[in-house]
Amino acid sequence: MSWQKLFLAFIAVWVFTFFYEFIFHGMIMHSSYEQAPSLMRPEAEFKANFPLLVLGQGVIAFFFTLIFVRGFGGGGGVAGGFRYGLLFGLLLCGANLIRYAAEPLTGTIVTSWCVGMVIQFSLTGLIVGAVYKPGPSA
Amino acid sequence: MNHKRGFLAFVVAFVFMFFFGFVWHGMLMKPMYLATASLWRPDADFNKHFPILILGHAVIAFAFTGLYVSKVGVNSAGMGFGYGIVMGIFACGANVIRFAVEPLTPNILLMWFAADLVCFAIMGALVGAIYKPLNAA
C-alpha cells in the first residue's frame, strides 16, 4: 500500500466532498430545508458547529479512501472506484430512509438526499480510483 | 463470487441489524428520544412509515454485504470484524455532520457512535464468518 497515494486520494476526496456538499446542501437544497426549520440548527448555532461538519467530512473521506485502497489492494481503477462508490451511496441512501421513517422530513428532502448521495459517492469513487492507481511504488 | 453465501450473509446481516436497532434505539435510547420529541415523528406517524424503516435496513444490509463480498471477499470473522469497525467509524463521521446541522444532544451523538461501532463490527463478523468465496466453498 502506498501511503503517499492514499494521502493524496484522501485529500482529493475531502476537498470534493466539501464543495459538493456546499453546492448540494447549501445552495440546491437550501429552500427545502427552510420548510423544516425545527429539524435544523439556527444559523448562528450551525456556524459554531461548522468545524465539526468539516471534521465529519474528513472522517468520511479518510475511511472511504482507506476501505477502497485496502479492499482492492491498490487495484480497481476508475471503473472499480465508480462501482465501489455506487454501493456506498446506496448504503447511505438506506440510512436516509431510516432517518425519514423516524424524523418528520419531507419526501422531497429524502428523495433528493438519496439521489444526491448516490451521485456524490459514485463521483467520489471515480476520484479515488483515478488518484490511487497501482504502480511500481504501490 | 459465491451468490448463495452472499445472499445468506445479507439475510443474517439484515435480521441482526433490525433487532439490534430495535433494542438500541427502541428500548435503550427511548428516554433520550422522548426528551427531544420535537425532532421525531409522533408514534402513529412513525408506525405508518415503518415499512420504509425496514426497507432502509435492507438497503444498508445489502450494500454492507455487497461491499464486503466485492472488496474483501474472504471467509474470516476477524477480517469481517475489522471491516465492520472501519465502516462503523465511517458512520460516526456521518453522525458528526448530522450533529453539526441538527439540534441533537451530545448524549444522543455518543450513543449513536457506540451503536454504529458495535452494530457494524458484529455485522461484519457475521458476514465474514458466513461468506465463503467460490474456490473456498
What tens-digit pLDDT sequence spans chain A (138 residues)?
Answer: 788 889 999 999 999 999 999 999 999 999 999 888 888 999 899 999 999 999 999 999 999 999 888 875 556 788 889 999 999 999 999 999 999 999 999 999 999 999 999 999 999 999 999 998 766 544
CA-to-CA distance for B52 and B39, rounded, in angstroms? 18
| pLDDT mean across residues, chain B | 94
* Residue whose entry in the numeric block shows the C-alpha cell 492514499: A6
3-state secondary structure of A42: coil
CA-to-CA distance for A39 and A33, rounded, in angstroms? 8
Q: Is A38 on the interface with B (CB under 8 A)?
A: yes
**pLDDT value at residue A71:** 73
Q: For residue A29, what is the DSSP state?
A: S
Q: Which amino acid is at A83?
A: R
**What is the average pLDDT across B25-52?**
95
Structural domain that includes position B19? 3-136
- Contacting residues for B10 by C-beta, under 8 A, at least 6 apart: B61, B62, B65, B66
ipTM given for this complex: 0.92
Neighboring chain B residues of A39 at a CB cutoff of 8 Å: 39, 102-103
**pLDDT value at residue A1:** 75
pLDDT in tens, B54-99: 999 999 999 999 999 988 888 999 999 999 999 999 999 999 999 9
Q: Is A47 on the interface with B (CB under 8 A)?
A: no
3-state secondary structure of B72: helix
Neighboring chain B residues of A52 at a CB cutoff of 8 Å: 96-97, 99-100
Q: Is A57 on the interface with B (CB under 8 A)?
A: yes
CA-to-CA distance for A3 and A7, rounded, in angstroms? 6
**pLDDT value at residue A118:** 95
Q: Do B94 and A56 touch (CB under 8 A)?
A: yes
| Residue B40 burial by Cβ neighbours in a 10 Å radius (0-12, 13-18, 19+) | middle
Mutate to test the interface with A, among B14, B17, B59 (most CBs of A within 10 A): B59
Q: In terms of Cα–Cα distance, which of A67, A80, A64, A40 is closest to A117? A: A64
Q: Do B89 and A72 touch (CB under 8 A)?
A: no
Neighboring chain B residues of A57 at a CB cutoff of 8 Å: 93, 97
CA-to-CA distance for A79 and B26, rounded, in angstroms? 40
**pLDDT value at residue B134:** 85
The answer to whether A129 and A9 have CB atoms below 8 angstroms apart is no
Q: Do B71 and A71 touch (CB under 8 A)?
A: yes
**pLDDT value at residue B105:** 95
Q: Do B63 and A87 touch (CB under 8 A)?
A: yes
Number of domains within chain B:
1
Residue spans per domain, chain A? 3-131
**pLDDT value at residue B1:** 80
**pLDDT value at residue A138:** 42
CA-to-CA distance for A120 and B36, rounded, in angstroms? 31
**pLDDT value at residue B98:** 94
CA-to-CA distance for B65 and B124, rounded, in angstroms? 8
Residue B49 CB neighbour total at 10 angstroms: 18
CA-to-CA distance for B39 and B47, rounded, in angstroms? 16
